[in-house]
Amino acid sequence: MPFETDQHLRSYLDGNQLARERMCLAILATDRRFIDVRPRQPAGGPDGGRDLEAKLSAGGRAFGAIGFVNRASDSAPERRKIRKKFEADVAAAPLDRADAMFVFMTNVALTAGDRDEMERHARANGFSDCDVIDRERLRIALDQPSGFFIRFEHLRIPLSEAEQASFLAQYSEGIQAVVTTGFQRVDEALARLTFLAEAGDLLTGLHVRFDLDRTYPANEIGHYRAFMLVYLTEVTNGIWAILFGSSDLSNRFREATDTPFTPQVAGIRHGIAFAQWERRFDMERLRRAELGAEGDKGATDGEGDVDGPTTELPAFETHGGGSSVGIDEVAGITISYRKERHGVSFPHERGIKLRDLQDADTLPFVSRSFARKVRRIRIFANGYELDDLGPGDFFVDESKTGLDIDNRFSADELKDPWVRLRPRRSSAYQFDFYRKTPRRMFKSPGSGSEQGG
């Protein structure tokens, strides 16, 4: 774990100054020397030589500055760059600094000589004290119980089993104190710990339930389309986006090379087809292409040359599907993206993990006639309820749109056009696991109590 934390501190937050400042603020807030730690200008703008401000618990003030570099290598030029940044921040800090401490935080590993020289410089320029916190000290702060959640939030490094035990050992008395004042807080804390531990599991199932405003006879539904499109914030094991859903006509998503199917009748009463697709990037191929393009600038391509990078978006590839019998009455439709076979999941298989859904753009695409019947949307994954959306949480966006799978539907079917069920306050749904812990819908063996309602 120390190695992983060190590597993430080097480059995981490259280019994200806001996240860097928030992480450093959270780390400083765990240090008992400081109280009332606040940001200055996290969104940018003049900051007067300081990114953070705090009060000293022993009395006085503290000014904090942050100097991160992309892909930190700890080279001599990099250390010189950090020292210059430090000196510039000291010079720009307020002049009334006799009772003030200057704190500088960086993801570059400095030598003892670097730190001593920088701290002497701050004192020589009027500060009563100075503390230079380099990458190793940041790592130590993040790899101890008080920093585990900060590390997960900003560097996406989950707690190991040993770390969970360490956290509980250190804070068990505090947890017990919470029990005496209210069981609800304890339940929330334990639910949070459980989710953080399980968020690193392979995403074995993502399910969307569309509840209708009443139970409809099958003939009132007829042809329908219900799909969910999910774009991850970053390519994960080659996967950038997933698309999944269902429609009527049992053989709709079967390929021409599949076993011949008897002619099917349209309408949900006669059969249901379901399928899932993934939009994948071959990251190794793209890396080779970029390296090849860099090396071949100004030269003509020869035989065996690596193709240059392309901006063409890869097509969605089918990754599963099937069919089921029709239904006579429809109270709702459930669609699923699965990474399991015959009910058995493969935890070591390379794919999306539950935590990779954090901040993913998620949007239902459905046929218009079906959309007008939807009353509620619930989203589940790996036994957790991720969201529960009522009528006031979404609206039907009827602006013209489509999906890559339009060729699976006839022109007559597409006369009932695609629409999107959008959230009222943003363009797409996003899961924020930091703000809201998903509700567990099952109980663990021997737990003795339900985690979900």
Quick one: pLDDT at residue 112?
95
The predicted structure's pLDDT at residue 177: 64
Residue 313 pLDDT greater than 80, yes or no: no
Cβ-in-10-Å burial (0-12, 13-18, 19+) of 162 comes to: exposed
Q: pLDDT-based confidence at 292, cuts 50/70/90? A: low
Residue type, 92: A
Compute the C-alpha angle 197/199/203, nearest 5°.
Answer: 140
Q: What local confidence, expressed as pLDDT, does residue 40 receive?
A: 79
Helices 135-142 + 17-29 axis angle, to 10: 60
Question: DSSP class of residue 417?
Answer: -
Interatomic CA distance for residues 329 and 278, integer angstroms: 31
Summarised one tens digit per residue, pLDDT across range 4-40 is: 999 999 999 998 999 999 999 999 999 999 999 999 7
Q: Report which secondary-structure segment, H or E, holds 6.
A: helix 2-11
Q: How far from the centroid of its chain's Cα atoms is residue 300's Cα?
A: 41
Q: How many residues does the chain have?
A: 453
Rounded to 5 degrees, what angle do the CA atoms 387, 391, 394 make? 70
Q: Write the pLDDT tens digit of every residue in 146-175.
A: 999 999 999 999 988 888 888 888 877 766
Average pLDDT along the chain:
85
Tell whether the model's pLDDT for residue 423 goes beyond 90.
yes
Which of the four pLDDT bands, split at 50, 70 and 90, describes residue 339?
A: confident
pLDDT at 242 (0 to 100): 95
What value does the mean pLDDT take over residues 65-89?
96
When pLDDT is averaged across residues 356-365 and rounded to a whole number, the result is 95
- Per the model's pLDDT, the better-predicted residue between 347 and 273 turns out to be 273
Helix ranges (H only) for 111-246 are 112-124, 135-142, 148-155, 161-181, 183-198, 218-221
pLDDT computed for residue 151 by the predictor: 94
Residue 428 clears pLDDT 60, i.e. is over it: yes
- Confidence band for 367, pLDDT divided at 50, 70 and 90: very high
Range 383-392 average pLDDT = 92
Relative orientation angle of helices 148-155 and 2-11, to the nearest 10 degrees: 40
Closest CA to 413 of 427, 402, 399: 402
Q: Which domains does the chain have, with CATH numbers?
A: 1-159 (3.40.1350.10), 202-282+315-340+351-440 (no CATH)
pLDDT value, residue 302: 40
Specify which residues 318 forms β-bridges with.
277
pLDDT value of position 50? 79
**Strand, helix or coil for residue 251:** coil
Question: Average pLDDT, stretch 229-239?
Answer: 92
3-state helix vs strand vs coil in the chain, percent to 5: 30, 30, 40
For residues 229 and 227, give the distance between their C-alpha atoms in angstroms, rounded to a whole number. Answer: 7
Handedness of CA 87, 92, 96, 101 (dihedral sign): negative
- For 263-281, how does the pLDDT look when each residue is reduced to its tens digit (9 = 90+)? 778 889 999 999 999 999 8
Residue 200: DSSP 8-state: T
pLDDT in tens, 171-212: 777 666 655 665 566 677 788 888 888 888 999 999 999 999
Q: What is the mean pLDDT of residues 86-91?
A: 94
